[in-house]
Homo-oligomer: A and B are copies of this chain.
Amino acid sequence: MKKLKRSQRLVDMTQFLLEKPHDLLPLSTFAERYGAAKSSISEDLAIIKEVFEGEGMGELQTHAGAAGGVKFIPRMPMEMALSFIQGLCSELEHSDRILPGGYLYMSDLLGQPSLMEQAGKIIATAFHDVPIDTVMTVETKGIPLAYATAAQLGLPVVLVRRDHKVTEGSAVSINYVSGSHKSIHTMSLSRRALKEKSRVLIVDDFMKAGGTVGGMVDLLGEFNAEVAGVGVLVESDAVESEERLLHDYVSLIRLGEVDSKERRISAYPGNFFSV
């Protein structure tokens, strides 16, 4: 790379850091990339740190020593997260989203990469200091949120299938009861997808009684893996508390009962905001 001025280095370094969240990048990487002294690189990083941290958009950690370097931990400021989620809540409250059976049409929102990226950043913020090896979700609608979260945490995604596919090799299957309908489903995960003892963050788009997430928790048991946390975009209130199968989770949005007759929906910020 040709020699850059400080102003140019700042542009390039910002881009470089944003692309590699949670990666420990040695100062020598930058020094070599720009043919600059480590002391200049340190000054550049101090400027970037000031901007990132001043805006609350993340932390720039500097680790000293031979194995040291710099690490960017993305975060979304609480105020920005709340205003983003309030916007999503108003979107969800449009009455034309109500489908037969009291379901809610959300696919248009889940189909916007930028919304998923923001939501993923909030879930990553909620779990930024928890040790996690992998993000897990079950097909289909939670996939974009799981990837957005994993990208911010610098982690891989493990995808649970509804049935066993030829492209997954040998797999472990379990049955689980979906809480609100008491119906029995199957989910399966490729044996080679997950190492024993992995610490796993479960992410999904929607949770009612928690049966599907509970299925993923059971599946983790089969792999001797651990639940590091559960994050969902929307939790539904429309469940008696004794029916709820899962109590420890982070939700970004809480959905009140969908009134199909009056065509009314209410959505509020989830439990992430009530601490």
Chain A residues near B (Cβ < 8 Å): 1-2, 4, 6-8, 10-12, 14-15, 18-20, 47-48, 50-52, 54-55, 57, 99-101, 103-108, 110-114, 116-117, 139-141, 143-144, 147, 150-151, 154-159, 161, 166-169, 190, 192-193
Most B CB contacts (10 A, CB to CB) among A11, A20, A99, A190 go to A11
Closest 10 CB pairs of A and B: A113-B151, A14-B14, A11-B51, A139-B140, A111-B157, A143-B143, A111-B156, A10-B10, A11-B14, A8-B51
Q: Give 12 CB contacts A-B under 8 Å.
A: A1-B55, A4-B51, A6-B7, A7-B7, A11-B51, A107-B159, A111-B193, A139-B139, A139-B140, A140-B161, A143-B143, A144-B157
- B147 & A113 in contact (Cβ 8 Å cutoff): yes
Asked whether A144 and B141 contact (CB < 8 A) given A14-B14, A48-B11, A113-B156, the answer is: no
Shortest Cβ gap from A229 to chain B (Å): 18
Shortest Cβ gap from A228 to chain B (Å): 17
Residues in B with CB closer than 8 Å to A19 are 114, 117
Shortest Cβ gap from A158 to chain B (Å): 6
A52–B8 Cα gap in the complex (Å)? 9
A135–B110 Cα gap in the complex (Å)? 13
- A112 & B48 in contact (Cβ 8 Å cutoff): no
Which residue of B8, B112, B168 contacts A105 across the interface (Cβ within 8 Å)?
A: B168
- B55 & A169 in contact (Cβ 8 Å cutoff): no
Which residue of B15, B107, B156 contacts A193 across the interface (Cβ within 8 Å)?
A: B107
- B103 & A166 in contact (Cβ 8 Å cutoff): yes
When C-beta atoms are compared, the residue in chain B nearest to A113 turns out to be: B151
Shortest Cβ gap from A204 to chain B (Å): 13
When C-beta atoms are compared, the residue in chain B nearest to A48 turns out to be: B11
Which residue of B8, B105, B112, B151 contacts A156 across the interface (Cβ within 8 Å)?
A: B112
Most B CB contacts (10 A, CB to CB) among A19, A106, A154, A159 go to A159
Residues in B with CB closer than 8 Å to A20 are 114
- A167 & B55 in contact (Cβ 8 Å cutoff): no
Which residue of B7, B8, B107 contacts A167 across the interface (Cβ within 8 Å)?
A: B107
A180–B2 Cα gap in the complex (Å)? 50
When C-beta atoms are compared, the residue in chain B nearest to A20 turns out to be: B114
Which residue of B6, B7, B107, B193 contacts A190 across the interface (Cβ within 8 Å)?
A: B107
Asked whether A107 and B12 contact (CB < 8 A) given A113-B151, A113-B157, A151-B113, the answer is: no
Most B CB contacts (10 A, CB to CB) among A1, A47, A107, A141 go to A107
A112–B157 Cα gap in the complex (Å)? 6
Residues in B with CB closer than 8 Å to A8 are 47, 50-51
